[in-house]
Amino acid sequence: MSKKEVTSKRIASKAAKTLNNPSSSKAAKSAAGSALSQRKAPNKQTSVKAGKAAAKTLGSSSASKAAKSTAGSALTQRPSKGTNSGGPRGRKK
């Protein structure tokens, strides 16, 4: 089932700042781009690659608050892990 979430105006502004910041990491910019692309697109979801970049940004001690906010938003827009995901929650015993 797909999530119907969009990036808020506040987070979109932070994403733009992250993308324009020359010291932002490649991972932070990837997460920011993903979040920004979902500003008014409820059917778009964060890709696995962008999700990994967002997780890396959240774990970084050098990432700015804006980059971390954007990364968190991108992660909330990842597809839900359902019974078909193959993950630990989706496995049948």
> Rounded to an integer, what distance in angstroms lies between the CA atom of residue 25 and that of residue 31?
10
Q: pTM of the entire structure?
A: 0.78
Of the candidates 85, 84, 23, 22, which has an alpha carbon nearest to the alpha carbon of residue 51?
85
Over residues 35-84, the pLDDT tens digits come to: 999 999 988 999 999 999 999 999 999 999 999 999 999 999 988 775 34
Residue 5 has pLDDT above 90, yes or no: no
Position 82 scores a pLDDT of: 58
Polymer length of the chain: 93
